[in-house]
Amino acid sequence: MTSISAASINTYQSPLQKLQNELLSEVNSGAISSSDKDALSAALTDIDSAMQASRTSDQASGTRPSPDGLKSKIDDLIAGEVSSGKLTSDQATELQGIFKAAFANGPGGAGGPGGAGGPPPGGPKQFLQSLQESLSASSSTSYGATGTSSSSSSSFSALLIDYQS
């Protein structure tokens, strides 16, 4: 029987959890003063609530904001925390640093959106070429780039859809 250690399991963290963990890490390292921790934590919670409300309305309307749009929205929310008196401008700068550090590799962690489960290295064309070669090697029928069989005994065609949101 095989045992799985907890260290090998990739657990999902919500954006707020990632940000709170980054905040704690920076407080523990001394990069952020422990006296700023409560204000920054409260601001993270406020920003997360606003982003969730925005996400809900985006999903209802079928739109998906661009990464630049999200960054702009977060910057506006941080500025709102400063103008409401919840954060100082120095704390706002620290908070922006927390966002940058927490999402340095994209929303999914290592490798950007989706994390390690992202697209294979080399892009879609290299993946398709590799797939075509492996299918040709494992089968007596080879397939061309159009998805048609090169075997004369039968004719197959396939439709490849390149969907990007």
Could you report the per-residue pLDDT of 97-115, keeping only the tens digit for each?
A: 998 888 876 655 443 444 4
pTM of the model: 0.56
Hey, what are 148's tokens?
């048609």
Instruction: Give the C-alpha separation, 15 to 70, whole Å.
Output: 13
Element holding 126 (H helix, E strand): helix 123-138
Could you report the per-residue pLDDT of 10-62, keeping only the tens digit for each?
A: 677 788 899 999 999 999 999 889 899 999 999 999 999 999 888 888 888 88
